[in-house]
Structure 1
Amino acid sequence: MTAGRAAPRGPAAPHGPVRVVVLDHTAELGGAELALLRTCRALDPARVAVTVVLFSDGPLRERLRDAGVAVRVLPLDPGIARTDRAAAGRSVLGAVRSAVVTAPFVARLGRLLRELDADVVHTTSLKADLLGLPAAALSRRPLVWHVHDRIADDYLPGGLARVLRAVARHGPRHVVVNSRATAGTLLPLRRGWTLAYPGLAPEQVAADPAARRAPEVPVVGLVGRVSPTKGQREFVEACALLAERFPSARFRVVGAALFAEAGYEAQVRELAARRGLDGRLEWTGWVADPVAEVDGLSVLVHASPVPEPFGQVVAEGMARGVPVVATAGGGVDELAVAADGTERCLLVPPRDPEALAAAVARVLERPQEAAARADRAWKDVQAEFAVERTAVRLTAVWEQVSRRGRG
């Protein structure tokens, strides 16, 4: 299959739909998990029958079941499930210990894959990638990796990144990536690869952005998990620069920190107080409907200090017709500029609050220019980043590598 080229929908397979078992180590509602949920809803049941196997229980299980997706939970040792990327890459001894601890789990997973009679095993997180590799081999099922992370030293521990790059070239039958930026951290791959952007569901796209009720005063917001990788610190610094220039402006941090990142949130809140933003900056905590939050903004800010694999919140802002200011790098660059070179949002260098503040000021001071840019982005994302395109590309991959399709 040619990378990055959508395959057309076709008739159902002569022996029924391809049986795909998707593996994910978490049942929390992260970006990759929400993308999986949207994709499952968009699949053609005449061509694909999906079962999702989660290595822990959580809200994703119920969301998938509500969408009519078959779900199984195969619990992984909590200590392994909670291991973060930094810890995973710290030492060879730690990696050996993890392999020993997970061996019984891998055996159980292999048996489950045979029980489910999978035609294809599709992994959608880094832990699932590594655990799915031996399990797929044991069950003699073809494996597809869906990589949502840049496999680079600036995004992952260096040792872990090197291992993942090596395994990606020799282990899975096919690799799916969420952006060309992610692909660039893995290439060259000995086997095939396919670009499948995380798709936007129809309900995420505004029917008419012009009908959106603009805030009475400027509202500048950052939406996403509170984490050093999302740039709330840089956002707060930029807000402090904007506060005097726009006395009526208000600022919002939409999202919450995970337990391990609570200390970072406390530091950023303290910084906001020192910068005199009390009463101007609101911390919403976790919200059930980020679409409503995005609709209430004058400017959506993406401030990640390291290149993002894709930049889902940028696409979500564009889909609502909201002007976006984003830090350059990674998959965001693919979102920010159309094929003809037209800007869909303003890009600024990462870790540069002054540049971030200047770009936000430009949006607020040139509303017609910003509206035209946002309108172009709104039109483009419907064509290029629709979840139906994602579903078609994944279906083509699964049919290609299926053990039935290969005889």
Structure 2
Amino acid sequence: MFKKLLVGFILLLIITGCGEQKKQKAVKETPPLPVKVVTIKSSNIPIWMPYTGKTQASSSQEVRARVSGILEEIYYQDGDTVNKGDKLFKIEQMDYIAELELQKAKKNRDLAGLKLAQADVKRYSILAKEGLAPQADLEAYQAKAEAIEADIAYDNAKIDQAELMLSYTIVTAPIDGQVSRRLVDIGNLVGKNETTLLTTINQVDPLYAYFAPSEEDFQKIDRLRSSEVMDAYIDISYNSKSLQKERIFGHVNFSDNTVNPDTSTITMRVEFANKDKRIFPGTFVYVNVFVTDKIPLVGIPPQVIFEDQQGKFVYIVDNKNSAQRLYVKPVYESRFFVLMKPGVLKDGDKVIVNGLIRLKSDLKVAISDVTDTQGIEAIIKNNNLVPLRNVP
């Protein structure tokens, strides 16, 4: 009985050993994992700083009644695009025409009086010279003529004023832009004891986008910027397929001189063309500011970065075609790429960009180089990240 058990136990060991040998052989025969890689090459990569912002009209003008009267005409439709000088409203003119005619009549009366006074001066000049009239009478007529000349100058000023007031009865557009809805209707009394607001005009071409980087970011931008005028572009943040695919370029034309004490931010502004007027003031946008492309850096796609307790790392391929974990220290991260100083990642290193969840150190891989389509230069080109001054 004991011999039978011993023989059975030996047979079991033999069978188990054979199974382990087969498993080990199967492991050894596992083919390399096919992966795609990009080859590292340090270069001057353009750095864009992303922010959220809000658009605002480059000029916004209130159109007010500068004279009082009944509104007689409205020459535009709500929402029309107008040019500077276009007629918008007409206020009744009868009182202002009458005032102008009154001032002209007064001037004509004074001109007639001046003609008579000048004749008296001429006549008394001869008489006084011959001693036939007192010198005092001559001086009185001279003073009268001068007073009438002053009255005529006053009349001219009053005529100019009357013409100006009459011109105010035709309300014109002070700027090019889009007119808002009218705030008064025909027949309303406007301008009585106040400058009645009639409508507003927004100039939306060009359009501004305001954003507020932190004080630290502002100092970084100011320190690293490679040109006096910084390029920028905006992406529309709302869900519009036609606009989401369009990138609108412009430039930074203003930065405030004061830090907001509540938010520790500094307001900046991008100006960009809006010729088709599809973007309205008050739209939330993504603002991207070009800082520099004068610093040699290493760039990789953002999806290849992993992180554990020791820090951020990527997988590279060593000279034995095995995957190896390499810890890195990014200096700049965006949704397009991650940048770091040359050193840890060296020119010629091959970074794995797919199959990442299946990777582990020392795993054999079979590589396919996709640098031309997924490398840093392809990312810059495909996402239109070339600064405007570098575009031919």
TM-score by length of 2: 0.21
TM-score by length of 1: 0.21
Which structure's CA Rg is the greater one? Answer: 2
The structure whose RCO (Cα within 8 Å, separation 6+) is larger is 2
Q: Which has the higher helix share?
A: 1
